Structure 1
């Protein structure tokens, strides 16, 4: 590991996490109470802020697609993309949403339909359409816009301006980030990253446990989840030791193959026509109502506001907390692509794939519920997917493939996270030392274990929402700095063009 600046960021963030882990071991109830109180305060007082700030991210991304800035490369003018389009999509998708899509694919739509509809009466035909529309909303362009903004800023300053690959370096056009302020920003970014990644790893462990419990009768307990995390930690540290072009790239491609097989299998044996019709209809509804959903805060409806806090605000915070990791990773593998190509690819392609995924798996779980075949909504969230598979041909085979997929997504996400955290605490090194990656791998797993121990999934969610809030402010500043840098570059290019004439 490098010395100097890197030592401060690395040591302080490790220290913060060790203190949090220690509190979680000694007083788990206190940790849950603290995070719950902070989460409630932020969601109630600043829910409006989350909606506005994430909508700003979407508008900025759309602007890059249509503006002259879209021609600018994330790299030098003669740089070529390092990875093929299929490998690029596989890596950004595996890092961005892998475990989450499998975890919520069958669960979220049927839950909105049967238990807690955002706008209409549960169990009705309208509730089916609303369930899909709001699921698309939570997993669509808003989520990927958050990732894209962070990745654009990091890739532009790293590959075009040769700045260190650090969050603080992206703010250099508007402030001096060489001293303590820059370190504080990087410490906050790393802390938010650990929070977001640990939450997702916790979800993965819980669902692997849920699948094994559903299929084999093994206990669904914290200690089983602890064993799962320990085994997966060994595997992703093994992958991390091989480097970016071996472990992560190969596993990402394996993920996409397994996900495609699972998707294709369910498409064939599931309610194909119903799911495709549902996808087509609700996609139109999503596009039509995107602006109104983006700013829906329900100030006069207490129940609706509670739903927004529990779902939309939770998701926006999750993506923001996850974004330093995903953004850094996507930036690392996107050198040589233009702003327009990058933004279109990151914003549109994964969103549409996610919509199809929810239509196939969520559509199947909803149909089982509406026909009275199974009460999927009454299962634990982590068991909904396996409960859905149970009622279709080759259900056990699909469940085994799903558990394997979750495991490989788990390994890829954790492996990618150790790489990103290594970068962020090694002065932006594109090849952080193995011992630094190993340290972060162990810390990620320990954080996930302690959060599960201190309050299960609720503690994971609370911590993430708290960590996301300050980082969202940094992201806004990153946008301001990026536009200032782009404006300077545009002026420089015009001046050079005039001189050439």
Structure 2
């Protein structure tokens, strides 16, 4: 059983170790260890980026080849655990206690879920991945129509499995933070196993690993994604595509993210997340109308049916002989989602107080997945249709220069001649703004998460501290672009993915611990609800007597 802490106990056990001078409030061990590790990695990359890339790829290939079954079976276990939390009596447990209230509206909450979770990834891959699978038939979701197989496979990579991972870790973090009054930090989920040791060096190591994975994951996404922004601006106004321009764009995005970070979640992050959803809706509906509408709708319906029908067999599929496809796609994605989960999970936990377990799990698991399926069908379906009409021209673009694929697809849309020029420019503008906005949201939410962890899990920290982490993300991405361009970023991404294996095992143990602690809270909250109900009955009886 995990005890409930109060602020005074936490101050004595953890926060008293914080460095609180010079306008800062942070854990010096976690912050310094992260800073030293980033410095060592940067120097290593500067000295020999080719060697670094080979080493990290060797580690990744070894993990994916030999432990693919861990990722596949664990990710299925996470979905089963989430469904158990939602549909058992534990679903009635409220995050933060019986009397806790929600901090954000449903629309704001869903907007932030999607923006932090994988909004930018959907922008980058929604054209390329379905098109790639339609040309190279995957071993899962087999169908006579290759389009449906391709789209169902893409659903598999962006649907219930990643969101099941996010739902599980964010639920654990939210429960231990708001129901047990532990710090909002990754170390807290280990309290049932390690006890008070989480407040010492072991906890510092756990938080340091989470910060490194988050910072490097964000830096990788920022560096790779800024190439897509550069491509969009090249299409729009002819800005050259080169490293110098990409570093300038990172600086601009980081500056905007810094302003949002200073504003905090309630203003900056929420505003940008809601803006993302509105822009995304306009963009998606425009492509749906201007593209092959009937074809898109058929692709969505048939692909979703195939995905749901073959969900179990495809989810438990493990390659025996040729592991190249599954290692490059499904296992790669699962490792990336798991390594990314401390960041996304902690952010979702931060914004989810006041929700019941059932509401929380079903919302995190189902709503973003369904919206992702619709988005992928519109853009992936349009891309596959255009590729067929253009004799494979769009696939050639995806294969040779993935960042420009989305903008290239827009040029093929069948827009009426009189409006063609204006509409294409507007679509380019909206697409570019949406990519920038998603990147800013990822950067500022990531900075807030890193700041929370490095401060020991405090909910309120100095603005200068949040700014520092936002700037550091941009700086790491810029340095790697300058040192080795896309090669350096891919090496970093490979290194981050390697952390997925230990995190997968940690999540399995964590879910078992969470079940035990939720059972205790469920009984406690049920007693409170029964007492409150009894009090209301007494009040009614007393009123009637009067």
TM above 0.5: yes
Contact between 2:111 and 2:273, CA under 8 Å: does it hold in 1? Answer: yes
- Note closer, same or farther for the CA distance 1:354–1:496 as it changes in structure 2 (3 Å cut): closer
Would you say how many aligned residue pairs link Structure 1 and Structure 2? 496
Could you tell me which of 336, 340, 347 is aligned with 1:322? 340
The secondary structure found in structure 1 opposite 2:318 is coil
The secondary structure found in structure 1 opposite 2:43 is helix
Whole-Å Cα distance in 2 between the matches of residues 408 and 171 of structure 1? Answer: 35
Whole-Å Cα distance in 1 between the matches of residues 151 and 219 of structure 2? Answer: 27
Contact between 2:257 and 2:443, CA under 8 Å: does it hold in 1? Answer: yes
The secondary structure found in structure 2 opposite 1:175 is helix
2:539 alignment partner in structure 1: none
1:372 aligns with 2:404: no
- Larger CA Rg, structure 1 vs 2: 2
2:317 alignment partner in structure 1: 296
Deviation of residue 111 (structure 1)? 1.2
Superimposed CA distance per residue, residues 312-339 of structure 1 (whole angstroms, 9 cap, x where no aligned partner): 1111122112111111111111100000
Contact between 1:172 and 1:481, CA under 8 Å: does it hold in 2? Answer: no
Deviation of residue 464 (structure 1)? 2.5
Deviation of residue 148 (structure 1)? 0.7
1:76 alignment partner in structure 2: 97
Contact between 2:103 and 2:352, CA under 8 Å: does it hold in 1? Answer: yes
Whole-Å Cα distance in 2 between the matches of residues 497 and 446 of structure 1? Answer: 51
The secondary structure found in structure 2 opposite 1:385 is helix
1:435 alignment partner in structure 2: 464
2:510 alignment partner in structure 1: 478
Structure 2 residues not aligned, in runs of 5+ = 1-13, 19-26, 416-422, 535-546
2:302 alignment partner in structure 1: 281
Whole-Å Cα distance in 1 between the matches of residues 530 and 266 of structure 2? Answer: 43
1:417 alignment partner in structure 2: 446
Which region of structure 1 is more displaced relative to structure 2, 447-456 or 423-432?
447-456
Query: What pairs with 1:169-188 in structure 2 (closer than 5 Å)?
Result: 169-176=188-195, 177-188=198-209
Which region of structure 1 is more displaced relative to structure 2, 340-349 or 285-294?
285-294
1:356 alignment partner in structure 2: 374
Superimposed CA distance per residue, residues 390-446 of structure 1 (whole angstroms, 9 cap, x where no aligned partner): 012223321221111000110011000000000011111112222221222122223
Which region of structure 1 is more displaced relative to structure 2, 210-219 or 225-234?
210-219
- Note closer, same or farther for the CA distance 1:496–1:224 as it changes in structure 2 (3 Å cut): closer
Contact between 1:171 and 1:477, CA under 8 Å: does it hold in 2? Answer: no
Which region of structure 1 is more displaced relative to structure 2, 446-455 or 382-391?
446-455
Deviation of residue 3 (structure 1)? 5.8
Whole-Å Cα distance in 2 between the matches of residues 284 and 479 of structure 1? Answer: 30
Whole-Å Cα distance in 1 between the matches of residues 134 and 531 of structure 2? Answer: 63
RMSD: 2.4
Deviation of residue 372 (structure 1)? 2.5
- Note closer, same or farther for the CA distance 1:213–1:175 as it changes in structure 2 (3 Å cut): same
